[in-house]
């Protein structure tokens, strides 16, 4: 093997890269999201992956499935490549965490059952936490391999398996917006072809440096962040999603610091940066090296692109760097993308005509809708707009379902032949012998660019008129300052034999209860004026509670069912006790002042407990909750978003870095106070032990806190 073009499997690519550039450090992982680097060279990767592969070969055969349960980091990468070295199919999945085992385990068990998983690769911590939960009543379950216990000496026992280009390399499980989890079968050929397409579209060159924070269980994080950089032989800087979500500017700082040329994320990440950026950030960032800022995996908001360019132009970001694209797990990753040297395209189309499935240009902002062009089909692929009922190609300017054919299209859904035939083997009379993927997305082409308008299954039809949920959700998100952007679900329900519109909408924590009627009124008026349709229901729910997939897409069908079943966490007149006005900042600052003024450790403990209680009480849905020192976070339903907010507030008040993973374990309030005291006032432990038997176990609690903090880099897991 002498060149990249001669590679036919990813296994061959791994061997070639290790021999061709052994000292090249493809992967640099920022363990704290900032400056602490963990680096893996191609040679080190080759040794570690072959060791894991040899261990796998001792318990599994080529073609068996291995579940990967790791937090983001280099061990995940070596385990992934260990599977490919062994000819075993890798099955990425979100790892469990102690705080949400009841929520995580059922999904993992369904994946294990659906994929017929033989082996689970994980670290020692996850093994001790979850191994017994995967056993049946007879004690049978998959074989666990904690890879941090695998010696590199195993690499010498590795034997190269026979792998073909069409063999399945990865099962990418995706819940989608409207269905249950199903495994997308990605072959070696799929991965190599899509990696090649990304290189072409993005203009990857010898000096390309990437930055990625997306989780490796997400197709953009897996293909775009791990597999494609190794294919291209470039360097990629990685960080955990948790570290981005907690401090979004870490992403842009990494681009600035490492002079990255290629980086991107779904639209919400750009919005998050716009919300969190400060004048200090703008003064310090230099984004002049950023050649390509890809945006995909969810609907792209034109105003996000405009605002991002306007805001970060001050940091030398070039407008043409923004790169809208389109794809999904079923297409491996990318399917369409523009010319990376040209500016992105935004066009306006008549709003009424869009509702009638026609794309008619209209420059009037009052009667038109702005849409983002996602570029042309990648090389050697067909993308057609098809009538979903007749299966005939649509005329130009007519909106239809997006169908695709080419070497990047996945092999189908694992163990689901009927669904595979329906979704992956569609036929068009104009292209005999070719199979097409039915994406389930609606769109059209104009000037060779694909414009995506919505999802086929989510289409709302009221009195014979079509309404796109994304249009309604986007119209509402700017109508009132209390509305949380990107957190709404529009759908229809049958009322007295007629379809009616319902909108479920998250509102921001800062919104006061007496504002709810005003918000509802403004939302209803906005929908009526924009779409000339009466909304049957406007449902306001707390921030962070709307149903989403693992990749952050709104589960409209799930929201609809929760609405029909009366199981939404509604903020309304009957639930006033569950609303919030936020925590008392004046009280919290006074408590902190008192903590530093007192010399009595027990008094400080009491003040810390009061501080945590006040912050917790200020979170959505917890204003009137019964909160006492023995109250656990798990008992009041604290999720990862709330836990992150609590940790951020505690850091603001106390200047301590309390691991969010500790909060996700569901500790008591008094245990949080103990942890904070151990981190901030370490000398208190001895004084408390000497003063009373009541605090005799504090030292062990302190040590437990230190151990938790030390485990931070390998345990922190973000729940999407």
pLDDT digits (tens, 9 = 90+) for 312-329: 999 999 999 999 999 999
For 81, 182, 194, 221, 291, the CA distances from 230, given in Å and listed in that order, are: 11, 27, 13, 13, 19
Residue 645's pLDDT is 84
pLDDT greater at residue 178 or residue 447:
447
**Rounded-to-integer distance, Cα 550 and Cα 108, Å:** 13
CA 620 vs. chain centroid, Å, equals: 22
Which token pair is 373? 């062009």
Which token pair is 526? 């906005």
pLDDT digits (tens, 9 = 90+) for 154-163: 999 999 999 9
Residue 689's pLDDT is 54
Which token pair is 698? 């504090």
Residue 153's pLDDT is 96
**Are 300 and 270 spatial neighbours (Cβ–Cβ below 8 Å)?**
no
CA 335 vs. chain centroid, Å, equals: 19
Helix (H) or strand (E) holding 460: strand 460-462
Q: What percent of the chain has pLDDT over 90?
A: 65
Helix (H) or strand (E) holding 68: strand 65-69
Residue 541's pLDDT is 96
List CB contacts of 205: < 8 A, sequence separation 6 or more: none
Q: What is the DSSP string of 649-717?
A: HHHHHH-----HHHHHT--BHHHHHHHHHHHH-TTHHHHHHHH-GGGTTHHHHHHHHHHHHHTHHHH--
**Are 254 and 30 spatial neighbours (Cβ–Cβ below 8 Å)?**
yes
pLDDT greater at residue 34 or residue 639:
34
What is the SS3 assignment for 1-37? CCCHHHCCCHHHHHHHHHHHCCCCCCEEEECCCCCCE
Average pLDDT over residues 674-684: 85
List CB contacts of 427: < 8 A, sequence separation 6 or more: 391, 434, 435, 436
- Domains located in the chain, CATH noted: 4-17+39-194+215-224 (3.40.50.12780), 347-455 (2.30.38.10), 465-578 (3.30.300.30), 585-715 (1.10.1200.10)
Residue 493's pLDDT is 85
List CB contacts of 335: < 8 A, sequence separation 6 or more: 326, 327, 328, 377, 378, 381, 383, 404, 408
Q: Look up the pTM and report it.
A: 0.74
pLDDT digits (tens, 9 = 90+) for 34-82: 889 999 999 999 999 999 999 999 999 999 999 999 999 999 999 999 9
Helix (H, G, I), strand (E, B) or coil at 503: strand
Tell me: pLDDT of 151 over 70: yes
**Rounded-to-integer distance, Cα 545 and Cα 571, Å:** 11
Query: Of 96-100, 124-128, 393-397, which range is least confident?
Result: 96-100
Residue 688's pLDDT is 58
pLDDT digits (tens, 9 = 90+) for 529-567: 777 677 888 999 999 999 988 778 899 989 988 998 889
pLDDT digits (tens, 9 = 90+) for 458-486: 778 675 566 889 889 998 999 999 999 99
β-strands 27-30, 37-40 pairing? antiparallel
pLDDT greater at residue 586 or residue 101:
586
**Are 170 and 88 spatial neighbours (Cβ–Cβ below 8 Å)?**
no
What is the SS3 assignment for 566-583? CCCCECCHHHHHHCCCCC
Q: Which of 539, 519, 378, 401 is nearest to 459 (CA)?
A: 401
Helix (H) or strand (E) holding 587: helix 585-597
Average pLDDT over residues 286-294: 98
List CB contacts of 491: < 8 A, sequence separation 6 or more: 458, 460, 469, 501, 502, 504, 556, 557, 559, 560, 563
Q: What is the DSSP letter of 544?
A: T
Which token pair is 58? 């001792």
Tell me: pLDDT of 576 over 90: no
Tell me: pLDDT of 509 over 80: yes
**Rounded-to-integer distance, Cα 583 and Cα 43, Å:** 52
Residue 498's pLDDT is 59
**Are 343 and 373 spatial neighbours (Cβ–Cβ below 8 Å)?**
no
List CB contacts of 574: < 8 A, sequence separation 6 or more: none
Q: Which of 539, 534, 454, 547 is nearest to 499 (CA)?
A: 534
**Rounded-to-integer distance, Cα 515 and Cα 262, Å:** 43
**Are 15 and 2 spatial neighbours (Cβ–Cβ below 8 Å)?**
no
Give one word for 139, left, alpha or beta, with left for phi > 0 and alpha for psi -120 to 50: left
Residue 685's pLDDT is 59
**Rounded-to-integer distance, Cα 292 and Cα 294, Å:** 6
The residue written with tokens 């590795």 in the block is: 158
């Amino acid at each position: 093997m002498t060149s990249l073009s001669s590679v036919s499997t990813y296994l061959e690519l791994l061997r070639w890269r290790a021999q061709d550039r052994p000292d090249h450090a493809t992967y640099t992982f920022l363990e704290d999201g900032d400056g602490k680097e963990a680096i893996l060279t191609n040679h080190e990767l080759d040794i570690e992956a072959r060791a894991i592969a040899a261990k796998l070969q001792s318990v599994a055969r080529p073609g068996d499935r291995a579940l990967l349960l790791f937090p983001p980091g280099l061990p995940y990468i070596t385990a992934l490549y260990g599977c490919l070295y062994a000819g075993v199919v890798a099955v990425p999945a979100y790892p469990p965490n102690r705080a949400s085992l009841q929520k995580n385990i059922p999904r993992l068990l369904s994946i294990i059952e659906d994929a017929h998983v033989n082996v689970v690769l994980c670290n020692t911590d996850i093994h001790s936490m979850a191994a017994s939960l995967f056993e049946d009543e007879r004690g049978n379950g998959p074989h666990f391999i904690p890879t941090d216990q695998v010696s590199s000496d195993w690499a010498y026992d590795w034997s190269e398996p026979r792998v073909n280009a069409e063999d399945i390399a990865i099962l990418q499980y995706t819940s989608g917006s409207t269905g249950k989890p199903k495994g997308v079968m990605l072959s070696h050929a799929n991965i190599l072809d899509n990696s090649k397409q990304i290189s072409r579209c993005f203009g990857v060159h010898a000096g390309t440096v990437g930055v990625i924070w997306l989780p490796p269980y997400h197709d953009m994080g897996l293909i775009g962040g791990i597999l494609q950089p190794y294919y291209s032989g470039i360097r990629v800087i990685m960080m955990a999603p948790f570290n981005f979500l907690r401090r979004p500017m870490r992403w842009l700082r990494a681009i600035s610091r490492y002079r990255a040329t290629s980086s991107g994320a779904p639209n919400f990440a750009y919005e998050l940066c716009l919300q969190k950026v400060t004048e200090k950030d703008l003064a310090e960032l230099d984004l002049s090296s950023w050649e390509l800022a890809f945006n995909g995996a969810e609907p792209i908001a034109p105003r996000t692109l405009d605002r991002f360019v306007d805001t970060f132009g001050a940091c030398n970001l070039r407008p043409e760097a923004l790169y809208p694209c389109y794809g999904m797990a079923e297409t491996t990753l990318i399917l369409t993308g523009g010319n990376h040297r040209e500016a992105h395209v935004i066009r306006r189309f008549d709003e009424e005509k869009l509702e009638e499935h026609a794309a008619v240009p209209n420059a009037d902002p009052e009667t038109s809708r702005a849409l983002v062009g996602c570029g042309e089909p990648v090389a050697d692929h067909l993308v057609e707009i098809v009538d979903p009922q007749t299966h005939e190609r649509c005329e130009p300017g007519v909106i239809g379902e997006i169908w695709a054919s080419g070497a990047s299209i996945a092999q189908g859904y694992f163990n689901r032949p009927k669904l595979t035939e329906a979704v992956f083997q569609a036929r068009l009379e104009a292209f005999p012998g070719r199979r097409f993927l039915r994406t389930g997305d609606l769109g059209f082409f104009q000037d060779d660019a694909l414009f995506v308008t919505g999802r086929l299954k989510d289409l709302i039809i009221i009195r014979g008129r079509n309404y796109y949920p994304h249009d309604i959700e986007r119209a509402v998100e700017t109508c009132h300052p209390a509305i949380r952007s990107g957190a709404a679900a529009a759908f229809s329900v049958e009322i007295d034999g007629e379809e009616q519109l319902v909108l479920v909408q998250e509102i921001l924590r800062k919104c006061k209860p007496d504002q709810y009627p005003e918000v509802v009124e403004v939302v209803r008026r906005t929908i009526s004026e924009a779409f000339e349709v009466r909304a049957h229901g406007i449902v306001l729910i707390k921030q962070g509670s709307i149903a989403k997939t693992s990749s952050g897409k709104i589960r409209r069908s799930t929201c609809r069912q929760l609405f029909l079943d009366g199981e939404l966490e509604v903020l309304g007149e009957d639930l006033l006790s569950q609303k919030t006005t936020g925590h008392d900042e004046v009280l919290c600052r006074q408590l902190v002042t008192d903590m530093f003024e007192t010399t009595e450790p027990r008094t400080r403990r009491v003040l810390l407990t009061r501080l945590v209680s006040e912050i917790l009480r200020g979170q959505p849905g917890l204003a009137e909750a019964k909160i006492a020192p023995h109250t656990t976070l798990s008992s009041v339903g604290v999720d990862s978003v709330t836990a992150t907010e609590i940790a951020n507030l505690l850091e603001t008040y106390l200047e301590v870095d309390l691991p969010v993973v500790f909060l996700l374990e569901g500790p008591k309030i008094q245990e949080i106070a103990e942890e904070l005291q151990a981190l901030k006032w370490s000398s208190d432990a001895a004084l408390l032990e000497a003063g009373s038997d009541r605090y005799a176990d504090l030292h062990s609690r302190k040590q437990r806190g230190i151990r938790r903090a030390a485990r931070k880099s390998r345990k922190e897991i973000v729940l999407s």
